[in-house]
A and B are shown apart, each in its own frame.
Chain A
Amino acid sequence: MATLALEDVKKAFGATQVLHGVDLEVADGEMIVIVGASGCGKSTLLRIVAGLETATSGRVIIGGQDVTPLEPADRDVAMVFQNYALYPHMSVFDNMAYGLRIRGLPREVIARRVQEAAELLGIAALLERKPRQLSGGQRQRVAMGRAIVREPKLFLFDEPLSNLDAKLRVQMRAEIRRLQKRLGVTSLFVTHDQVEAMTLGDRLVVMHQGHAAQIATPMEIWERPADTYVAGFIGSPAMNFLPATLTAGGTAARLETNGLVLPFADGPRAGEEGRRLTLGIRPEHLRPGIGGLDLQVELVEPLGGESVLHGRLADGAPITAKLPGALHAEGPLGVIIPLEHLHVFDAETGKRLDAQA
């Protein structure tokens, strides 16, 4: 158990800059989820922490010690890989005992620790088997077990659930969270799945093209996304964006599509009249009603208690609404925008614009 700090970590593969300077402070026992689209540099960041890649510049500090120059073997971290990376020629027991044997622990201690971890994970009956004799979910557990027995300073997970089927994934997700809380080991968990991220993390790092776009708790990110990328990435279905301009002395926005003026609920924004804005509204916050947006609904997806409606405005811009009930029809529909749920972003930079104090 330890704290972790990343200081301005940069990485380039040849001419390609993959990480553009990531800073992160992780408290002891915290579970941090690194989430982002495929190829944004999540694995690279995790591998730099593990010591499998060398950062081009910046420092990695584990438990107060600068480990940047250390080999993976000397960092006392454990990692669970997406493909599990079990040793194919070793039994489950030997897979889990491997790291302990290297540390020269006495035989009884190894046997006891492996047994305990195996019981914790429900794989005690499989200790004699070889990896090829296990199902995907069981391999996943062995990979977890191999990390747990080590009692490392850090757990690193690189999309460990993405090779499991949907049901098992939900089950293992809850299990990982329970285990991590119980063992209290500081953890970094990489995923491209925003639901996994929201449910697992104490805090999230939303990565975008090698930058940490936002680092905050899941609710904070959902309620106050730092920019349009984060706003669109977190939340399902994704947030609607509408172009608008600042008006009424900064106290309201005028929608470009129909000239509708929406006063800000939380206070005025800085900037001159006509400043270009992007307004964001989540599909679940839209309500049926007259005097807002006029939609032409093209597709209704019933989810049981609620439905997702895909439609278009008169100018062709797509809008998604999530409304209660299952009885919705295609065709024209009016929705209103509750002002307290409006997100305001600068149109040029995409950054969030907060109300002036």
Chain B
Amino acid sequence: MEKKVIFKGWALPLALLLPQLVITGIFFFWPAGQAVYQSFLREDAFGLSRQFVGFENFADVLSDPTWLDALWRTGFFSASVAFLALSVALFLAVQADKHIRGANAYKTLLIWPYAVAPAIAAVLWLFMFHPNIGLFGRMLNGMGIPWNYKLNGDQAMLLIILASAWKQVSYNFIFFLAGLQSIPRSVLEAAAIDGARPARRFWTVVFPLLSPTAFFLLVVNLVYAFFDTFGVIHALTQGGPGKATETLIYRVYTDGVMNLNLGSSAAQSVILMILVIALTMVQFRFIERKVHY
């Protein structure tokens, strides 16, 4: 039985929907439309003249070797963040699930990072890993391990991966824990009686039953690593040293805001938008087919 609310006329429904529509319009459709519009234009740095150039901005971006470098870098970065955030969260969720009594305190602790703004999270990591003033940075250097992410590109990449993954762990954890708790206890007991030891039970029963959750989280984490890590990168490394931590989203910012190359920057964001739409569509298709069972 479907319950339908019937409104008389269209004024009230419109009024009720309006705030949401206005917000979506102002903060999403308008800038997105602007970006698409911009991506077909070429403009001088002072905004004095503009001309329609068709797909030229896109062609330039896609053939720019430094953009392609950034693409690979972003791929590596996103995959690392997603892998790290997912595996740590899964490990923690399995531990929490074992001692379900304590799970609430555990949950609260783990959700904290998610509530921290990206820039603040980054500052936290900065205070820990700054080569001169950071607790761990100084410790590493003191132990004779040269640590300076401001000079070493690999270390810079490692740092932004850690900081970005850390922020996402709590979110993943909540979903994994919910997934684990929805597996009937008796199914695991049946596996135990069938002779499966804990590791085998995990890989043959728990993990396959979690796979829809894991897949959903994978997409969410990839989208997060693509888009939501700007704040972390900006506060920690500003894309440096060199271009060692310049991901696609950061490059949109550098090209558009720093270099005022609006056409190219707009084309880049349109490409990113398409990537995310594609990822989301893959996800919907899989969810419709109910991955695995």
Contacts and interface: CB of A to CB of B under 8 A. Distances in A.
Given A71-B197, A88-B209, A89-B209, 8 more contacts: A73-B193, A73-B197, A79-B190, A81-B186, A87-B205, A88-B187, A102-B194, A146-B194
B184 A83 contact: yes
Contact of B192 (A73, A89, A130, A150): A73
Interface in A9-56: 50-52
B194 A85 contact: no
A77 B193 contact: yes
A interface: dominant SS: loop
A73 B196 contact: yes
Contacts of A130: 293
A99 B193 CA distance: 8
Contacts of B293: 88-89, 130, 132
B195 A103 contact: yes
A103 B197 CA distance: 12
Interface residues on B, range: 10 to 19
Interface in A62-107: 71-73, 75, 77-79, 81, 83, 85-89, 98-99, 102-103
B196 A52 contact: no
Contacts of B101: none
A150 B196 CA distance: 13
B188 to A, nearest CB: 9
13 contacts: A50-B189, A52-B193, A72-B193, A77-B193, A78-B194, A79-B193, A89-B208, A98-B194, A98-B204, A99-B194, A99-B195, A103-B195, A150-B194
A146 B193 CA distance: 11
Interface in B189-213: 189-197, 200, 204-205, 208-209
B215 to A, nearest CB: 13
Contacts, number: 65
A102 B195 contact: yes
Nearest to A74: B195
A261 B292 CA distance: 73
Contact of A71 (B184, B191, B192): B192
A109 to B, nearest CB: 16
A78 B195 CA distance: 10
Contacts of A98: 191, 194, 196, 204
A85 B195 contact: no
A71 to B, nearest CB: 7
A87 B193 contact: no
B193 A50 contact: yes
Contacts of A103: 195
Contact of B292 (A50, A71, A89): A89
A46 to B, nearest CB: 11
B186 A85 contact: yes
Nearest to A143: B190
B126 to A, nearest CB: 44
A235 B194 CA distance: 37
A289 B204 CA distance: 69
Nearest to A156: B193
B205 to A, nearest CB: 6
A72 B208 CA distance: 22
Given A73-B196, A73-B197, A130-B293, A87 B189 contact: no
B214 to A, nearest CB: 13
Contact of B189 (A72, A75, A89): A72
A155 to B, nearest CB: 11
Nearest to A80: B190
Contacts of A86: 187, 190
Contacts of B192: 51-52, 71-73
Contacts of B193: 50-52, 72-73, 75, 77-79
A98 B188 CA distance: 13
A110 to B, nearest CB: 13
A279 to B, nearest CB: 44
Contacts of B196: 73, 98, 102
